[in-house]
Chains A and B, each alone.
Chain A
């Protein structure tokens, strides 16, 4: 008798749950109803996403979250930043805790398919590099045979490192570390010969040293690390919105639209592409469920891609990254926005 009761309740519960599953995969509606964008970011990587003493977040990834919030909700402050660790980031996204994950995550095949994420584009082209002390006398990663190498666990860098040394038939001793802060500490104290992570991170780390001139970043970039924001698989409209916010920021730089001149250009620009981008003609926003001014607000929030780059991680900041691959395609870089048409 108990058994049949049990199965009966199982069916009842199943029916109840399926009734509650009406609105499926409509992240945009959810975000609008909530009035806040939940954005997953790094727990603290200066330049990309880090809270200051008052808990105000700033950085390259943070600026993207703010641009999306400005486009979707009309207010760039309507973002709740959810700090995620390397361990918890993808689950936070797939379980619905965050609507958007902007946490310098590498776009890989497996993550895009098996982990059910959708990378919406690349906002920073990176690659894994090595930093060593100058007095070690090493000038190439090929000379790192037998070296002790500090590496952050739970990242793609861990796999790349294993692959690289295997491919070059070299051995190494990994020193696993938990966070970037700890990695810096261990490397500074000489607990490892080399510190490996994304080249951007190495530059940021080196810039913060008291003696940056005593450390060199080796020329080899052993992997491609296209870092990009990701959304859940399955909600294509939400993916489109985020993708085109990113393209809007990139395109704005291409066409010289900055946060300073955006109002003026919206009124006076004769460039049809700029007109479409800023919603003066052709209501593009309507096609993705937003209003005509969406891109204007996104760009006005923190400036175009170039401005964000310069303000958070560019050469004028302590992190001092050159544009390199991340320059516009017209400048010899890879940043290429799809046409707004």
Chain B
């Protein structure tokens, strides 16, 4: 058609007109405004409503934030400074409180000279997570590892770790990075050992205790391997017996003896000195790390064909999910000591971690069950066709895929649990939100500071949880892409 046009018309334009900007009404910010905010009476109304909400929030909080004071020794001084600067009627935030006490909000009553230890435990957490979460994208992995190691190292240095410690830290970091880069399966083993490393860093004591506990697993595995050809399933019982005997009778003397020969001790920090975000993160991470294996077992049990095992799993999961966490925390603080033999003493953090673990494992089991159910049936059938037995099929075919699908759910469970760690305040632990704020406020200098601690603690929770939820959404999107 264009050809005929070209031949029949007398005039052919051979140069293009310079493009004109679209008229104001159909482009530019005005159009955007009209289309997005004022496209109809309802929309106009909504926009006005939204604007008024924004205005209300800004006009009430804005001046208060603008008048904030960052340098003062108490509320009285704060008020005085605000009155001097902005007139007698002005009200302002007194963030000097945070400036003076932020150590307490973050580390609780942890000995200041040892602040580097929780920092390192937190840093190494990312190393432990790297082979699980960040293995698919080298860029993400390197960014995370580099950021974690540099920040961790700097913090440790600023918080007063001595030269020798810094050297050990550097060597450990470099070695771990090398393992992650060059031996994935070994890195996974290190990740499995992380809870013990973290425990050692936080509570101190002799590293040999943790090593001996790990050695129990190794021995049990060895015993299982050696006896399985002869005994088959009974080998499991043998392994359990080995681990029990080792832990109950031999681990402690062995650790003591080894400590005598090669001391690997850090100064002990009692649980009563834990508080603030160190406490929250410790409880949260410990709960998730320990609830993961438990959750997997429960999920498998709930999907199992064996009616009694299935029933037990269902009872446990539904019981835990039907009861508020506060009730379980009160069980930890009021009743758990009754359930244990008379002379056994558990400190309250350990008891809370146990209850939180049980709590999280029920939710975890449901998340993983979802992952198992989402796995195409063909995978199970393929595993059967290959002649794998139940555990081999689970270990080699089903669980790796199901867990991968469940990661976003696991992350959301973690977010929920991390937020819930604030409830430990009701059993007398110093969580950052209520107990710490109350402690700070109970001193005469800071009486009457209500909003500042809430804002500070709230923002930190927001940053952590929001970051994690974004990450889990990213994972979810990626999984969707991969499964397509």
**B198 interface contact, C-beta 8 A:** no
Q: Are A181 and B272 in contact (CB under 8 A)?
A: no
Chain A residues numbered 52-88 whose CB sits less than 8 Å from any CB in chain B: 52-55, 80-85, 87-88
A208 at the interface (CB under 8 A from B): yes
Q: Is B108 in the interface zone, CB < 8 Å from A?
A: yes
Q: Chain B 406-447, CB within 8 Å of chain A: the 1/0 string?
A: 000000000000000000001111100001001101111001
Report how far A53 CA is from B442 CA in the complex, Å.
11
Contact B272 A95 (CB under 8 A): no
| Given A21-B342, A88-B427; A46-B333 close (CB under 8 Å) | no
Complex-state Cα separation, A106 to B275, whole angstroms: 29
B341 at the interface (CB under 8 A from A): yes
- Interface magnitude class on chain A: 35 or more
A44-B439, A55-B273, A91-B334 known; A20+B427 contact, CB < 8 A: no
Whether B280 is near chain A, meaning CB under 8 Å from some CB there, is no
Contacts of A87 in B (CB 8 A): 330, 334, 426-427
Whether, in the assembled complex, A246 has its beta carbon less than 8 Å from a beta carbon of chain B, the answer is no
- Whether the Cβ atoms of B439 and A91 lie closer than 8 Å is no
A92 contacts chain B at the CB level, 8 A cutoff? yes
Tell me the chain A residues, 87-105 only, with Cβ under 8 Å from chain B. 87-88, 91-92, 95-97
Question: A176 in the interface, Cβ–Cβ < 8 Å?
Answer: no
Count of B interface residues, CB-CB < 8 Å: 38
Decide yes or no: A54 and B112 within 8 Å by CB, A44-B438, A82-B272, A88-B428 being known contacts: yes
Q: Is the interface of B mostly helix, strand, loop or mixed?
A: helix
Interface: B345 (CB within 8 A):
yes
- Of A54, A82, A188, A210, the residue contacting B109 (CB under 8 A) is A54
CB neighbours (8 Å) of B101 from chain A are 53
Decide yes or no: A88 and B334 within 8 Å by CB, A44-B442, A50-B442, A179-B438 being known contacts.
yes
Asked if A185 is at the interface (CB within 8 A of a chain B CB), the reply is: yes
- Contacts across chains A and B counted by CB atoms under 8 Å: 89
Cβ-based interface call for B76 (8 A): yes
Cα(A312)–Cα(B349), bound, Å: 30
Complex-state Cα separation, A71 to B199, whole angstroms: 34
Q: Are A92 and B333 in contact (CB under 8 A)?
A: yes
Contact with A along B442-455 (1 / 0, CB 8 A): 11100110100000
CB pair A46 B341 closer than 8 Å: no
Closest to A53 in B: B104
Q: Give chain B nearest CB distance to A14 CB in angstroms.
A: 12
Interchain CB contact under 8 A, A181 and B438: yes
A266 vs B319: C-alpha distance when bound (angstroms) = 63
Within 8 A of A (CB), among B135-189: none
* Shortest beta-carbon distance from B331 to chain A in Å: 11
Q: What is the bound-complex CA distance between A43 and B334, given in angstroms?
A: 16
| Residues from chain B with Cβ under 8 Å of A44 in the complex | 435, 438-439, 442
A185 CA to B449 CA in the complex, in Å? Answer: 10
Contact bitstring A206-225, B, C-beta under 8 A = 1, else 0: 00101000000000000000
Q: How far is the CB of B474 from chain A (nearest CB, A)?
A: 39
Residue B248 CB within 8 A of the other chain: no
Given A85-B428, A87-B330, decide whether A46 and B109 contact each other with a Cβ distance below 8 A: no
B338 in the interface, Cβ–Cβ < 8 Å? yes
Pairwise interchain contact A96-B345, C-beta atoms closer than 8 A: yes
**Is there an interface contact between A80 and B442, defined as CB atoms closer than 8 Å?**
no
Most chain A CB neighbours (cut-off 10 Å) among B270, B428, B430: B428
Closest A residue to B427 using CB positions:
A88
The complex places the Cα of A154 from the Cα of B435 at a distance, in Å, of 18
By the criterion CB–CB under 8 Å, are B76 and A88 in contact? no
> In the complex, what residues of A have CB within 8 A of residue B337's CB?
91, 95-97
Interface string of A1-37 (1 = CB under 8 A from B): 0000000000000000100110110000000000000
Whole-angstrom CA separation of A84 from B335 in the bound complex: 15
Shortest C-beta distance, B100 to chain A (Å), equals 8
Q: B350 → chain A, closest Cβ, in Å? A: 11
Instruction: Return chain B residues, CB-CB under 8 Å to A84.
Output: 428
Q: Is residue A226 within 8 Å, beta carbon to beta carbon, of the partner chain?
A: no
In the complex, what distance in Å separates the CA atom of A182 from the CA atom of B95?
20
Which A-chain residue is minimally distant from B101 (CB atoms)?
A: A53
Q: A314 near B: Cβ within 8 Å? A: no
What A residues does B478 contact at CB under 8 A? Answer: none
Measured in the bound complex, the distance between the Cα atoms of B326 and A87 in whole Å is: 12
CA distance A272 to B366 in the complex (A): 73
- Look across to chain A and name the residue whose beta carbon is closest to the beta carbon of B334: A91
B444 and A43 form a contact (CB under 8 A): no
What 7 pairs across the A-B complex have the smallest Cβ distances? A55-B109, A95-B337, A181-B438, A91-B334, A83-B428, A85-B428, A44-B442
- Name 20 interchain pairs, CB-CB below 8 A, sorted by A: A17-B341, A20-B341, A20-B343, A23-B343, A43-B428, A46-B442, A53-B104, A54-B109, A80-B272, A81-B272, A82-B428, A85-B428, A88-B333, A88-B428, A97-B345, A181-B438, A181-B442, A184-B447, A208-B447, A210-B448
B residues with CB within 8 A of A: 76, 101, 103-104, 108-110, 112, 270, 272-273, 275, 330, 333-335, 337-338, 341-343, 345, 348, 426-430, 435, 438-439, 441-444, 447-448, 450
Q: A46-B444, A55-B109, A83-B429 are in contact. List 14 more A-B contacts (CB 8 A).
A: A20-B342, A20-B343, A43-B438, A50-B442, A51-B109, A82-B272, A85-B428, A87-B334, A87-B426, A92-B333, A95-B334, A181-B441, A184-B447, A208-B444
